């Protein structure tokens, strides 16, 4: 006899530090992160070495693709809130991403953009809903929430570590076709894991429709959502292939989103709306953070390709595999997250028990200070360069070590905050807006990366090194300033948060 699904109260009344559902959710998300970070780590390298794009155009194209990936998480969050529910949205997203991987694997150069469109839609329906379901595992005010999100963040970065290291290695050394096919394999594992464990989620993520909506009407709206998302592919293809259209899209989607949120806010009371305004402050600063941080897939990826020595602590190969700076660029951050995220979560919990835990806005400020220091370290790699323009992989990795702690002060905390500050009925919308902020961050990251790239495709490695490191120094200064502003306004933001720490 199949055991009954748990009630929401049973799920939230768990003992210990973490609910058992957390483990299956981060396993499901882990495989999606395998695909996302694997693809992110390959994009600029693939476009430059296989599709013949120049450095500037590759950075702009990277920013456009990543911006659309995150922009569609907002759209996916809205449809999950209003029509599909989080569980069905996740299933549809996984199926679409599986299709996208197969399309690109069939013909990487010719079908690259079409397969990317499938992946954009799939990620949009998949990504915001896992994080929202994690937030719903906890009662309001449960101080174990941030620790749970930190562990979740650590778990899913195992996928990022594996995907970032494996997919670029397979693509560069064996077959790009095989590398893209790994997306379908990983997402199939993710989907099967969810289907086998979804019963443990009980009512979390089920249909948002009340009993007054007939089963026929629900079905019609769900099918219309599925069909409509596929009909969007030609439009997305036009936008993705022509990065100049990205400007129009990004200038439109942001204001439209704020107008829609304003319409939704009329339903809530004054205290709830103050919390939503606080959430918007965090969302705005996250745009700046990701604009800098996401140089990882753009300019830092090209920096690793052109300017880093293929050796680490004197080692040039491990088990017969050559040290690949792009592999370090793609996976070092994830490795550090896996190691330190649980420890950071425990530190926050211990400080909370002693009433010493800093507020979320101060944590954000600290994240920017660490981000600024990390980019200063990336800039300082210039001091270790030879006349050939090649510099130290060890110093570069130290930069990622520092940036990881900045990320851990912001990203898992931000995910947790969206589920605490947003009223239940728009949590999918607010989580989508959090990821939409990442879309703007990716968009700006592409522009910044293009600005740091040499216009001359035949420029020497030394010229490229100077352009990149000068740019990283500027980003470091801007990040430090943003951190100071956040700390300065922290008292005001805490008042808006109305008791949410």
Q: For residue 407, what is the domain's CATH number?
A: 1.20.1250.20
Q: Is the dihedral of CA 229, 235, 241, 243 positive or negative?
A: negative
* Domain presence at residue 2: no
Residue 73 exposure: Cα atoms within 13 Å on the Cβ side: 25
Tally of structural domains, the chain: 1
Phi, psi angle pair for 317, to nearest 5°: -155, 150
The confidence score (pLDDT) of residue 501 equals 57
Taking residue 53's Cβ as centre, other Cβ atoms within 10 Å add up to 18
* Domain containing residue 52: 16-497
400 Cβ contact list (under 8 Å, min separation 6): 328, 329, 332, 333, 336, 374
The confidence score (pLDDT) of residue 185 equals 94
Angle (nearest 5°) at CA 495 between 494 and 498: 90
Taking residue 247's Cβ as centre, other Cβ atoms within 10 Å add up to 12
* Domain presence at residue 53: yes
The confidence score (pLDDT) of residue 207 equals 79
Closest listed residue to residue 125, CA positions, set 60, 184, 191, 198: 191
The confidence score (pLDDT) of residue 74 equals 74
Q: What is the pLDDT of residues 193-245, one digit of tens each?
A: 999 988 888 888 787 877 777 888 889 998 999 999 999 899 888 888 776 77
Taking residue 239's Cβ as centre, other Cβ atoms within 10 Å add up to 22
* Domain presence at residue 1: no
308 Rama class: left (phi>0) / alpha (psi -120 to 50) / beta: beta
* Domain presence at residue 9: no
For tokens 């100071």, the residue is 484
Closest listed residue to residue 432, CA positions, set 113, 84, 11, 141: 84
52 Rama class: left (phi>0) / alpha (psi -120 to 50) / beta: left
* Domain presence at residue 4: no
Q: Measure CA of the first residue to CA of the last residue in the chain; give whole Å.
A: 44
Q: How buried is residue 268: exposed, middle or buried, by Cβ count under 10 Å (0-12/13-18/19+)?
A: middle
Phi, psi angle pair for 290, to nearest 5°: -70, -25
Instruction: Please report, in tens digits, the pLDDT of each residue of the chain (501 residues total).
Output: 456 778 878 888 787 778 888 888 888 988 988 988 888 888 888 888 888 888 888 878 888 888 888 778 777 877 887 888 888 999 999 999 999 999 999 998 889 999 999 999 998 888 777 777 887 888 877 777 767 777 777 777 888 888 888 898 888 888 999 999 999 999 999 999 999 988 888 888 787 877 777 888 889 998 999 999 999 899 888 888 776 777 787 888 888 888 888 888 888 888 888 888 888 988 889 899 989 998 888 889 889 888 999 888 878 777 667 888 888 888 888 889 888 877 887 787 788 788 887 878 888 889 999 999 999 999 999 999 889 989 999 999 999 999 999 988 887 777 677 778 888 777 767 777 877 888 888 888 888 888 887 666 678 888 888 889 999 999 999 999 999 998 898 888 888 886 665
* Domain presence at residue 5: no
Centroid of chain to Cα 82: 23
User: In the 3-class helix/strand/coil scheme, how is 308-373 assigned residue by residue?
Assistant: ECCCECCECEECCEECCHHHHHHHHHHHHHHHHHHHHHHHHHHHHHCCCCCCHHHHHHHHHHHHHH
The confidence score (pLDDT) of residue 391 equals 92
Closest listed residue to residue 86, CA positions, set 150, 131, 149: 131
Core vs surface per residue 370-392: b (16+ CB within 10 A) or e: bbbbbbbbbbbbbeebeeebbbb
The confidence score (pLDDT) of residue 81 equals 78
* Domain presence at residue 11: no
Closest listed residue to residue 469, CA positions, set 376, 384, 394, 392: 376
Cβ pair 388, 366 in contact under 8 A: no
The rounded radius of gyration (Å) of the Cα atoms in the chain is 22
267 Cβ contact list (under 8 Å, min separation 6): 425
* Domain presence at residue 460: yes
The confidence score (pLDDT) of residue 455 equals 61
Alpha-carbon distance values, 165 to 206, 208, 311, 334 (Å): 35, 39, 16, 10
């Amino acid at each position: 006899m199949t055991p009954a699904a748990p009630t929401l109260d049973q799920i939230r009344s768990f003992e210990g530090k973490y609910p058992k559902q957390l483990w299956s959710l981060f396993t499901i998300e882990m495989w999606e992160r395998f695909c996302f970070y694997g693809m992110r780590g390959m994009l600029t390298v693939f476009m430059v070495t296989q599709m013949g794009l120049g450095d500037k155009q590759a950075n702009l194209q990277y920013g456009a693709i990543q911006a659309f990936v995150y922009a569609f998480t907002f759209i996916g969050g809205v449809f999950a809130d209003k029509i599909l529910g989080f569980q069905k949205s996740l299933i549809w997203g996984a199926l679409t991403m599986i299709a996208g991987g197969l399309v690109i694997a069939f013909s990487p150069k010719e079908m690259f953009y079409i397969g990317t469109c499938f992946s954009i839609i799939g990620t949009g329906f998949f990504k915001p809903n896992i994080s929202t379901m994690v937030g719903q595992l906890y009662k309001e005010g449960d101080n174990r929430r941030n620790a749970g999100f930190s562990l979740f963040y650590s778990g899913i970065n195992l996928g990022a570590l594996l995907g970032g290291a494996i997919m670029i290695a397979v693509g560069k050394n064996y077959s790009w076709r095989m590398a893209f096919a790994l997306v379908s394999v990983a997402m199939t594992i993710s989907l099967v894991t969810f289907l086998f464990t979804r019963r443990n989620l009980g009512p979390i993520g089920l249909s948002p429709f009340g009993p007054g909506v007939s089963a026929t009407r629900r079905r019609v709206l769900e099918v219309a959502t599925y069909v409509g998302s596929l009909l969007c592919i030609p439009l997305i293809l036009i936008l993705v292939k022509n990065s100049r259209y990205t400007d129009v899209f990004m200038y439109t989607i942001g204001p439209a989103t704020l107008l829609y949120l304003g319409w939704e806010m009329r339903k809530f009371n004054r205290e709830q709306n103050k919390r939503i305004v606080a959430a918007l402050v965090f969302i705005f600063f996250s745009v700046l953070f990701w604009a800098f941080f996401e140089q990882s897939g753009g300019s830092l990826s090209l920096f690793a390709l052109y300017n880093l020595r293929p050796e680490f602590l004197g080692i040039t190969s491990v088990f017969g595999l050559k040290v690949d700076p792009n592999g370090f660029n793609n996976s070092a951050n994830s490795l550090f997250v896996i190691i330190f995220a649980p420890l950071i979560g425990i530190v926050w919990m211990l400080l909370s028990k002693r009433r010493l835990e800093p507020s979320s806005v101060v944590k954000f400020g600290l994240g920017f200070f660490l981000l600024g220091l990390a980019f200063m370290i990336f800039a300082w790699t210039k001091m270790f360069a030879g006349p050939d323009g090649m510099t130290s992989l060890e110093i570069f990795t130290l930069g990622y070590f520092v940036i990881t702690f900045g990320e851990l002060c912001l990203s898992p905390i931000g995910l947790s905050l969206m589920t605490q500050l947003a009223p239940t009925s728009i949590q999918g919308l607010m989580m989508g807006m959090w990821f939409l902020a990442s879309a703007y961050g990716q968009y700006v990251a592409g522009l910044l990366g293009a600005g740091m790239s040499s216009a001359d495709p035949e420029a020497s490695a030394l010229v490229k090194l100077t352009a990149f490191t000068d740019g990283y120094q500027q980003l470091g200064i801007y990040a430090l300033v943003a951190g100071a502003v956040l700390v300065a306004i922290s008292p005001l933001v805490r008042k808006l948060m109305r008791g949410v720490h």
